[in-house]
Amino acid sequence: MASTLQINSTHHSHFVLFPFMSKGHTIPLLHLARLLVNRAVSVTIFTTKANQPFISHFLKTAPEGTISIITLPFPSGINNIPLGVESTDTLPSISLFPQFAVATKLMQPYFEQSLNDLSNVTCIVSDGFLSWTLESANKFRIPRLTFYGMSGHASAVSYNVGVNRLLSGPESNDELITVPGFLWIKVTRNDFDEPFNMRDPSGPYMDFVVESGIASENSYGIIMNSFYEMESLFLDYLNNVKKPKPWCVGPLCLSEFDSVIDSVVKTESVTESKSKVIEWLDEKQAKGSSVLYVAFGSQAEISGPQMEAISAGLEESEVNFVWVIRKCEADVIISELGKRVGDRGMIVREWVNQIEILKHKSVNGFISHCGWNSVLESICAEVPILAWPMMAEQPLNARMVVEEIKIGLRVEMCDGSVRGFVKADGLKKTIKELMEGEKGKEARKRVREVGAAAKAAMADGGSSWRTLNELINEVQSVRMNCGKE
């Protein structure tokens, strides 16, 4: 029989959510907002003026009066960051991320002024990159929970590698290193970005990461966008060796799966593009044709030669494909590909509703950078992945996808390196294997099993459903006790 754990309705809960200014960080917390209001929790979201339209439109179907949005001024005059750029998605280069992230601390006085005007705040859920919000929460004696959009696997492996200083030795960048405590897992220095892959990591960005980590350790808990059944081993490890407690309440994207058309912000041009994509997919489905979805996220910087190789690999694979391109430095290459493949391929240059595309019955494969949101969306849509990690913790996510939960394959790098070049013929071969081969069939079967487990975790009585209810009740109790002191 399903659990009937109830929310304590005697005292009304009010959650403050403060996402980092990046769509990949923001969207999961907007999904969380929907789950909270479904439990009669009121929500206040903090953001900036430029990010407010995205959030407002995303949440336009939420019940009236349940979610409020407060905009704060984003710092101006930051070195190399153009005026009006208030999201990492619009940075001229991802190399400017450290300056952007550190600059958010200048928002603290405005955040605290607004927080002072709010009443009966139960807790603050803020992104791990907004470490300074812990100080603000402590001033108001409000519990702060950290949100990190990472898997338990990536968190556990990164922590283990760090505390054991596994990357400080003489190994080459691509030499496999065994992870203590997870002896079947092997990583390389190239599975980590700078400064983490340095033998003696240091510098301003490392200082920022350490500061964020310390703030998280001193917060009340960590919200994790995952579910226990998929990575219990890694979550148990984190619970035993780290603080604070991780609360698995995902996959959060499942809050949108029944209303995907209304769930993502669209300008008029994006809405038109989305309709054309779905119309094109409908045509392929009617013909019994299978489609490969290709997307590398909004921040990956892909070289011209690599774009040429991707184009050639897609053309030579002879599969139908939708390729979403967010940054079009290679417009000539892409335009020529469009002419050569004709109706077999569709190239989209705007933001799309990825969930809607992955859910389409014609889509049977996903070439992905393995950002955690994309991995979860692929799992929930039961679509296998061809993993091509680009940055951040994506190489670790790719290892999880291929080696741990076995829901996908990996692209073939020409030199065997995690960060190697992918040639057209290698891409063609792995695409064909994913879409038509035995390994692809095995991954497709496995992703259906994991997808079903994800849905069960989020359903009434499931592990993530229970965890969110427990979290609401617990922070409600903590806040009430603080008020009595």
Given a cut of 60, is residue 3 above it in pLDDT?
no
Integer Cα distance of 266 and 54 in angstroms: 8
Exposure of 274 in the CB half-sphere (CA atoms within 13 A): 21
Please give the backbone phi and psi of residue 267, each rounded to the nearest 5 degrees, phi first: -80, 175
In tens, the pLDDT along 127-151 reads 999 999 999 999 999 999 999 899 9
Query: Do the beta carbons of residue 458 and residue 256 sit within 8 Å?
Result: no
Question: In order of start, what are the domains of the chain with their CATH numbers?
Answer: 14-256+457-484 (3.40.50.2000), 267-454 (3.40.50.2000)
Of the candidate ranges 202-216, 369-383, 429-443, the one whose mean pLDDT is the lowest? 202-216
Record the tokens describing residue 2, joined without a space. Answer: 């399903």
Report residue 25 CA to chain centroid gap.
6
pLDDT given for residue 480 in this prediction: 76
Q: How confident is the model at residue 78 (pLDDT cuts 50, 70, 90)?
A: confident
Residue with tokens 């009236």: 64
pLDDT given for residue 365 in this prediction: 98
By C-alpha distance, which of 393, 213, 427, 478 is closest to 318? 427
Given a cut of 70, is residue 464 above it in pLDDT?
yes
In tens, the pLDDT along 221-255 reads 999 999 999 999 999 999 999 889 999 999 999 98
Record the tokens describing residue 330, joined without a space. Answer: 């290679």
3-class DSSP state for residue 359? Answer: helix
Burial class of 419 by CB neighbour count within 10 A (0 to 12, 13 to 18, 19+): middle
pLDDT given for residue 266 in this prediction: 43
Residue with tokens 């769930």: 263
pLDDT given for residue 257 in this prediction: 62
pLDDT given for residue 485 in this prediction: 47
pLDDT given for residue 398 in this prediction: 97
Buried b or exposed e, range 17-44, using 16+ CB within 10 angstroms? bbbbbbbbbbbbbbbbbbbbbeeebbbb
Query: How many angstroms separate the Cα of 18 from the Cα of each of 30, 210, 230, 243, 365?
Result: 10, 20, 27, 21, 34
Helices 152-163 & 232-241, crossing angle to 10 degrees? Answer: 50
Integer Cα distance of 242 and 262 in angstroms: 38
pLDDT given for residue 301 in this prediction: 81
The model's pTM is 0.91
In tens, the pLDDT along 152-191 reads 999 999 999 999 999 998 889 999 999 998 999 999 999 9
Query: Do the beta carbons of residue 215 and residue 134 sit within 8 Å?
Result: yes
Arithmetic mean of pLDDT over the chain = 89
Report residue 261 CA to chain centroid gap.
20
Query: Do the beta carbons of residue 206 and residue 195 sit within 8 Å?
Result: yes
Integer Cα distance of 146 and 162 in angstroms: 20
pLDDT given for residue 272 in this prediction: 44
Residue with tokens 């009966």: 120
Given a cut of 50, is residue 454 above it in pLDDT?
yes
Given a cut of 60, is residue 483 above it in pLDDT?
no
Q: How confident is the model at residue 420 (pLDDT cuts 50, 70, 90)?
A: confident
Record the tokens describing residue 4, joined without a space. Answer: 């009937």
pLDDT given for residue 11 in this prediction: 58
Of all residues in the chain, the percent with pLDDT exceeding 70 is 92
Buried b or exposed e, range 358-387, using 16+ CB within 10 angstroms? bbbebbbbbbbbbbbbbbbbbbbbbbbbbb
E runs forming strands in 284-355: 291-295, 320-324, 345-348
Record the tokens describing residue 53, joined without a space. Answer: 């339209």
Residues 66-95, mean pLDDT to the nearest whole number? 89
Residues 259-267, mean pLDDT to the nearest whole number? 42
Record the tokens describing residue 60, joined without a space. Answer: 């336009």
Q: How confident is the model at residue 270 (pLDDT cuts 50, 70, 90)?
A: very low
Residues pairing with 410 in the sheet = 387
Residue with tokens 């929970």: 145
Given a cut of 90, is residue 463 above it in pLDDT?
yes
pLDDT given for residue 329 in this prediction: 57
Integer Cα distance of 283 and 278 in angstroms: 9
